[in-house]
Structures are given as structure tokens and as C-alpha cells.
Chains A and B, each alone.
Chain A
Amino acid sequence: QKEVEQNSGPLSVPEGAIASLNCTYSDRGSQSFFWYRQYSGKSPELIMFIYSNGDKEDGRFTAQLNKASQYVSLLIRDSQPSDSATYLCAVRKGLTGGGNKLTFGTGTQLKVEL
């Protein structure tokens, strides 16, 4: 079982729709959760991070965390063609768990169609 799992996609949504990206993780010691966006040939760019159960909103983006289900998601409202990219989910253990490193999923490719 992979530590961090994402559906590779591609996930296609029409412009203006809500895109829902999902991620599950296997280590219950994970404490911090991150979403990075990566355009083809570019470096990962931090979109959001979340530490506590529940929702966290930032503009068009909402991160959702459910530690009991070991599930984290990213919602993108009013999707734009410029949102087309690969979205990487990353988790980090707590300091006592030996973790400063990020463990990444393989990413979900999002395509926003006109």
C-alpha cells in the first residue's frame, strides 16, 4: 500500500464547475497535509496546507481533512483553464515521528475544459 494515494486522472471538469481532488494516506502518525500544484515542466507550488480536521478555505480553494478516515481533499470552485495542472497531495509526520520530510502522492492531473 502506498503511503499517499491519489487517482492519477485525468479529471476533466468544465470551466466554472467545482473540481474535487482526493487523497488518502496510510500513516495515522501524519499530522500535516499539503496540496501543491505543478504545471508541466515546472516546480511544485504550494496551494494550501491543513493541520486540523474540518475545512479550510482560501479564495476558490477549500481543503478538507478527515483524520479518522485518513482522507484529505481539495475543492476548486469556479474552475478556470489556468487551473489545469497536476495536483500533488503531500503529508508530513510530526516531529516526534521522525518527520520533516514530505511524502507525496503521484498526483492527479486536472483538465479544465472551455
Chain B
Amino acid sequence: NAGVMQNPRHLVRRRGQEARLRCSPMKGHSHVYWYRQLPEEGLKFMVYLQKENIIDESGMPKERFSAEFPKEGPSILRIQQVVRGDSAAYFCASSLGTQETQYFGPGTRLLVL
């Protein structure tokens, strides 16, 4: 399967713990995007990365959230000290290049207890 891969698919954390979400883009894609979908809400852009660079983080909360896309390995979205309001579906998308179509992964559903 050459699609976007995300893991874990489901993640349960207690308040105050850290959550790490991983995304492997489609083969050949070097552009990665993270979106969040809160219950009953639309998808909201969080961050756009290329290998080793954050290009646009205008949708990232100012605190507790960070993202990286290292030279080797998957992109990581990290949420420190999770709170209940972080419970959501987090989707990763990838594209072949700038302004190319974005294809979504299956998502990680985060539940904070």
C-alpha cells in the first residue's frame, strides 16, 4: 500500500501525558500537512512541513504542540501535557510538491481521559 500511513490509529492518554503521532507520506511525497478534526467540526489546518523544515505553522496552538519531519523517518506531531480538549482526530496529508493535490492518511484518533 503506497498510501499515507499514520500510527497509531487510536491513542488514549491521561491528562498531562504526552502524545506522539506519526505520519509516513506517500512514496515520493516530500510535503506533509497536519490537520485536526474536532468532534462535529470541520478539518482545521495545523502545520505544513517539508523535509527538515517547517514551512507554515500558522494553525498550530502556541503552546504544547510541535511538529517535525526529519531527514529520515516519519513526520511527528507531538502534544505535550495533553488536555481533554485535545481529543480529536488528527489527519496527516501528503503531496508530491507545492500546490499539488493532498492525499489524506487514515488518521489518529486521540482520546484524553
A80: Cβ under 8 A from any B Cβ? no
Report yes or no: A43 in contact with B101, Cβ–Cβ below 8 A: no
A43 to B5, CA, bound (A): 12
Is A9 in the interface zone, CB < 8 Å from B?
no
Is the Cβ of B101 less than 8 Å from the Cβ of A88?
no
Residues A46 and B31 in contact, CB atoms below 8 Å apart: no
Take A88-B42, A95-B98, A101-B45 as given contacts and tell me if A45 and B55 are in contact as well, using a CB distance cutoff of 8 Å: no
Min Cβ gap B112→A in Å is 18
| Residues from chain B with Cβ under 8 Å of A32 in the complex | 99
* A100-B31, A101-B48 known; A95+B102 contact, CB < 8 A: no
Binds A, one of B13-21, B68-76, B77-85, B103-111: B103-111
Q: How many residues of A contact B (CB 8 A)?
A: 23
- How many A-B residue pairs have C-beta atoms within 8 angstroms? Tell me: 56
Q: A49-B101, A100-B31, A101-B33 are in contact. Are A44 and B91 (CB under 8 A)?
A: yes
Chain A residues positioned under 8 Å from B55 (CB to CB): 100
B41 located at the interface, meaning its Cβ lies under 8 Å from any Cβ of chain A in the complex: yes
Does B56 count as interface, using CB distance less than 8 angstroms? yes
The interface stretch among A11-19, A68-76, A103-111 is: A103-111
Complex Cα distance, B54 from A68, in Å, reads 34
Does B43 touch A at the CB level, under 8 Å? Answer: yes
Distance in angstroms between the alpha carbons of A104 and B56 in the assembled complex: 17
Chain B residues in 8 Å Cβ range of A44: 43, 91, 104
The smallest beta-carbon distance between A33 and chain B, in angstroms, is 12
With A42-B106, A43-B91, A46-B101: A100-B42 Cβ-Cβ less than 8 Å: no
In whole Å, how far is A48's beta carbon from the nearest beta carbon of chain B? 10
B59, CB-defined interface residue at 8 Å: yes
Which residues of A lie under 8 Å from residue B91 when comparing CB positions? 43-44
How near does chain B come to A37, taking the closest CB pair, in angstroms? 11
